[in-house]
């Protein structure tokens, strides 16, 4: 039934992290939907009709206005990074009582499209016990639609991303494909900030780059991008800035460019700062991914993105399930977490 390249439709695509990872897992996007003007422009610049890597059908629109019926039974995967404020600490954790909660729209579209597979991601807050009833409601609604549901917290650092970024992942598969799904295994090695950023830090000939990279020998704390109402272009709250300082990075603002050749670093005086491009690399984006908008808008996109390597790892497992094949001998159906509540 399925060809080499499977098809997908993504909502709340942001700057394209999840879509990029799924593309690398051999999914072809029939559409990527995003309401934010600058994130949509980022998608167009990188994957639009004149994008450098090939065309995505970028739809800049509100998901409330999206009709899924034209795609009914025509795509293999429905995916989305539904907004996180309802379940995040920063968003006051209002859950289903928050009008920013787009899970109801996701459920509507899944019902209209009826795809074989679903992938939704959110902040780790959705896994908390206080949201058990809401999470169970989502699982039960998907079950009624004919899906077996899996959910798990995945840590981005386990998949080569140089960042501590736990995310709530929900995968739903039509019952005939569910026995073939298992969660991706961790890579077994972690990429440090120094390893990830050495090339960019030394781009302008900074002579201290290698010494800096040797000291930046841990993964980064979680990048945050703020919201349209709050947050500017910096690495985050005080405790996060302190963690970056231990890595030899000044977190009070975002730099325009990499350090110059004669830049001198001193924790008491000055340290290198991240650029938007570096933030993208910390998230797992390619070095040449182009970010649209002003610095604040760019950093918001970076901080709110889903790491492409994690999306690729999950997408690969979904693809194997849809093709009814095992990625390796250790991937057994009993690894699934059907209707798990913890």
Q: Tell me which residues are annotated as active site.
A: 84
Nearest to 341 by CA among 131, 124, 178: 131
**Cβ pair 22, 311 in contact under 8 A:** yes
Task: Please report, to the nearest 10 degrees, the dihedral formed by the alpha carbons of residues 257, 260, 266, 269 taken in order.
Answer: -70
Q: What is residue 34's DSSP assignment?
A: E
Please give the angle made by the CA atoms of 4, 156 and 305, to the nearest 5 degrees. Answer: 80
CA–CA dist 212, 209 (Å, integer) = 5
**181 alpha carbon, distance to own chain's centre:** 20
Neighbours of 218 (CB within 10 A): 16
Neighbours of 50 (CB within 10 A): 8
- Beta strands of the chain (E only): which ranges? 6-11, 27-34, 58-60, 77-80, 117-123, 147-155, 166-174, 250-255, 273-275
Q: Classify strands 147-155 and 166-174 as parallel, antiparallel or unpaired.
A: antiparallel
H helical segments located in 102-227: 103-113, 132-144, 193-201, 209-215
């Amino acid at each position: 039934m399925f060809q080499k390249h499977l098809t997908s439709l993504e909502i709340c695509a942001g700057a394209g992290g999840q879509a990029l990872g799924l593309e690398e897992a051999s999914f072809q996007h029939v559409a990527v939907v995003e309401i934010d003007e600058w994130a949509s422009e980022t998608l167009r610049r990188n994957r639009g009709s004149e994008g450098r890597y090939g065309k995505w059908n970028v739809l800049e629109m509100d998901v409330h206005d999206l009709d899924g019926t034209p795609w009914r039974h025509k795509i293999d995967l429905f995916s989305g990074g539904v907004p996180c404020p309802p379940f995040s600490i920063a968003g006051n954790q209002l859950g289903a009582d928050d009008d920013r909660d787009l899970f109801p729209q996701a459920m509507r579209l899944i019902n209209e499209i009826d795809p074989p597979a679903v992938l939704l991601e959110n902040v780790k807050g959705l896994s908390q016990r206080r949201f058990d009833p809401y999470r169970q409601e989502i699982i039960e609604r998907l079950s009624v639609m004919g899906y077996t549901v899996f959910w798990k917290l995945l840590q981005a650092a386990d998949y080569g991303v140089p960042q501590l970024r736990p995310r709530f992942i929900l995968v739903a598969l039509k019952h005939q494909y569910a026995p073939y799904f298992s969660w991706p295994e961790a890579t077994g090695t972690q990429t440090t900030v120094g390893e990830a950023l050495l090339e960019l830090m030394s781009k302008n000939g900074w002579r201290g780059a290698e010494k800096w990279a040797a000291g930046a020998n841990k993964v980064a704390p979680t990048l945050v991008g703020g919201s349209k109402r709050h947050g500017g272009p910096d690495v985050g709250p005080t405790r996060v800035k302190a963690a970056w300082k231990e890595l030899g990075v000044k977190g009070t603002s975002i730099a325009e460019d990499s350090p110059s050749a004669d830049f001198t670093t001193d924790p008491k005086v000055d340290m290198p700062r991240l650029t938007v491009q570096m933030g993208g690399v910390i998230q797992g984006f390619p070095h040449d991914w182009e970010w649209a908008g002003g610095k604040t808008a760019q950093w918001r996109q970076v901080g709110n993105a889903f790491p492409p390597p994690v999306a690729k790892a999950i997408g690969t497992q979904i693809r194997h399930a849809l093709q009814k094949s095992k990625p390796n001998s250790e991937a057994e159906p009993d690894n699934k977490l059907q209707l798990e509540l913890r």
